[in-house]
Amino acid sequence: MGALADLDLSALSVSVRLAAMTVIVLLMVGTPLAWWLAHTRSRFRPVVEAAVALPIVLPPTVMGFYILVALGPYGPLGRIADLSLAFTFTGLVIASVFYSMPFVIQPLQNAFEAVGKAPLEAAWSLRASKWDAFLTVISPIALRGYISAIVLGFAHTLGEFGVVLMVGGSIPGQTRVLSTTIFEHVEVMEYSQAHTISAFMLIFSFLVLLAVYIANRRFPIHVS
């Protein structure tokens, strides 16, 4: 029971809510963007691809710094919202969307490229409108891509630290998440608490990745 208490349920709840919100936003924004990347012949495609991949290589502090500036009361996003979004849950979601973007976009883009245009044209020839064809043909065929995108986006958001610390601070119940909690425990030498949360995240992350790889290997796509 001690271990469960150490887990800090409010931080867990913030982590899960943050990851879920981030994935939902990314699926909505990322689906059209990934579709565009998969099918465009535009010469701007590599530029957009590089921009999407940036969070993989950039130090989280660099991203965190610019997002913090953008979200602050004098930044462009802060001005639109007419208040400072820094150190709020909303600000954290915005930051996470950028930070986890490649982990959602890239699996979707790969899936859309693999599906190709052939099934889409077939669906059109059977009177399905563009939306209808996307929902009933493209999405089910690209289902594995969606599962990978959701799982990786969720897990990666759970694991982010640098950006969260810079943009969200660590306000209990609002912006304190599991990864920042570990850091704070270590700072005050509470190693056993840090251990519990770390082990939880380690096992969780491993299981998530395992599930993705198993799903990719043999997930049968059947609707009827």
Partner 1 sequence: MSRLVAQFHVRYPTFQLSIDLDAPASDITVLFGPSGSGKTTLLRCLAGLERASDGFMQFGNDVWQDEKRGLCLPLYKRPIGYVFQEPRLFPHYNVRSNLLYGYKRIPVEERRIAIEQVVDILGIGHLLERRIHKLSGGEQQRVAIGRALLTSPKLLLLDEPLASLDIQRKQELVPFIKQLHKALHIPVVYVSHAINEILQLADRVVLLKEGKVVGIGALNEVLTSPQFRRNLGSLRVGAVLDTRVANHESEYGLTRLEFKGQFLFISLQPVSVGESLRVHILASDVTLVVGQIDCPTSVLNILEATILEIRETDQSSVDVLLDIGAPLVASITQKSLVNLGLKPGQRVFAHIKAVALNEELVE
The residue ranges that bind partner 1 (CB under 8 A) are: 118-119, 121-130, 132-133, 136-137, 140-141, 143, 221-224
Cβ nearer to partner 1, comparing 114 with 202: 114
Cβ nearer to partner 1, comparing 4 with 126: 126
Least distance between partner 1 and beta carbon 125 (Å):
4
Least distance between partner 1 and beta carbon 38 (Å):
18
Least distance between partner 1 and beta carbon 106 (Å):
23
Cβ nearer to partner 1, comparing 127 with 189: 127
Both structure tokens of 198: 């770390």
Q: Which of 133, 151, 115, 132 is CA-nearest to residue 26?
A: 151
Least distance between partner 1 and beta carbon 128 (Å):
6
Cβ nearer to partner 1, comparing 10 with 121: 121
Least distance between partner 1 and beta carbon 20 (Å):
26
Cβ nearer to partner 1, comparing 13 with 129: 129
